[in-house]
Amino acid sequence: GVVVALHGKETSAGNFLVEDVMEAGLPPQTVLPSINEDKYVVFVSGLSVGSSTFNPLQFQLLIDHITGHLGDENEQAIASKIVRVVVAGNSVHIAPRFLNGQTVAAKDQPRIAEPIKELDIMLTQLVASLPVDIMPGCNDPANFALPQQPLHRCLFSGASTYNTFSSCPNPHQFDLDNVKFIGTSGQNIDDLYRNSDAKDRLEFMERTLKWRHLAPTAPNSLGCYPYTDKDPFLVETCPHVYFAGNQDRYETRLLKGTEKQQVRLISIPRFCESGIAVMLNLRNLECSTLSFSTSFDA
């Protein structure tokens, strides 16, 4: 999936001696707009509602913080400047025994729907206050192959009644105040990790941008839809923000290109395990974390 140029020379034996391998590099980027006030975008992934690691209180604390029902005056002032929440995949967990291809017994059918209903109730609290984008992940009820289609709105009978609710594809690309975002629910980075000895997830994200291809291992080891006329994973315009959900830990880095490109890379941890959401300031592309713990000392 990666197109490279090989620079070298022909040897006396008739072989081609490679002296350098050149990649495409970061694509052209539009000028980052000047934003004079703080505006925040919150990223969260790996909620896994219905799993053994999901803590409803932890997620409720996040919701209350974002909607301004928690915190002191300063925290509430910051919360009032949150302009969007992006839920980057793996929002629900359905027990594997229900996904083996066999008919599900009538008594077990409510167990499949219960995590989705619980997620809908919680998302409704968010969309009542601000715009929310939800992306599918590998564990969500969506198609397996990338690009994943948006989760059907009928799954969210409460949240979908608000025009602030957006069910989005994976990968997801959008603009906010002329700041360009692109991101995935993490399958492309996870597959690169499985096929490499490198351990730095941000390095993989950086390479996919320099290769100008989000999913270079597809379709060999990463399922993707067979397009015939155009590759949907090509990165033709350099984003200002590139995020990947469902990673092992929170990491961020500012990537700078040779033509003055600047990209904020964000590795979003699984919320059900870390209790961490990521908050990005559109004014300066600086990141901070929202951390929620429900453990109390006696």
pLDDT at 107: 75
Could you report the per-residue pLDDT of 123-149, keeping only the tens digit for each? 999 999 999 999 999 989 899 899 999
Specify the pLDDT at position 101: 64
On the question of pLDDT at 29 being above 60, the answer is yes
Instruction: Count other Cβ atoms within 10 Å, centred on residue 205.
Output: 27
65 in Cβ contact with 112 (< 8 Å) = no
Sign of the CA dihedral running 99, 102, 103, 105: negative
Classify residue 179 by burial, with Cβ atoms within 10 Å: 0-12, 13-18, 19+.
Answer: buried
Nearest alpha carbon to residue 25 among 247, 194, 210, 217: 210
What's the CATH fold of domain 26-291?
Answer: Purple Acid Phosphatase; chain A, domain 2 (3.60.21)
% the chain with pLDDT above 90? 76
Q: Collapsing DSSP states into helix, strand and coil, what is residue 105?
A: coil
pLDDT level of residue 199 (50, 70, 90 thresholds)? confident
pLDDT in tens, 225-270: 888 888 899 999 999 999 999 999 999 999 999 999 999 999 999 9
Q: pLDDT band for 71, please (50, 70, 90 cuts).
A: confident
pLDDT mean across residues, the chain: 91
pLDDT at position 298: 37
Question: End-to-end distance of the chain based on CA atoms, in angstroms?
Answer: 54
Sequence-distant (6+) residues with CB within 8 A of 19 are 7, 8, 9
What pLDDT, on a 0 to 100 scale, did the predictor assign at position 297?
43
Tens of pLDDT, residues 73-96: 999 999 999 999 999 999 998 876
**Whether pLDDT at 177 is above 60:** yes
Residue 49 · residue 92 · CB < 8 Å: yes
How confident is the model at residue 130, as a pLDDT?
95
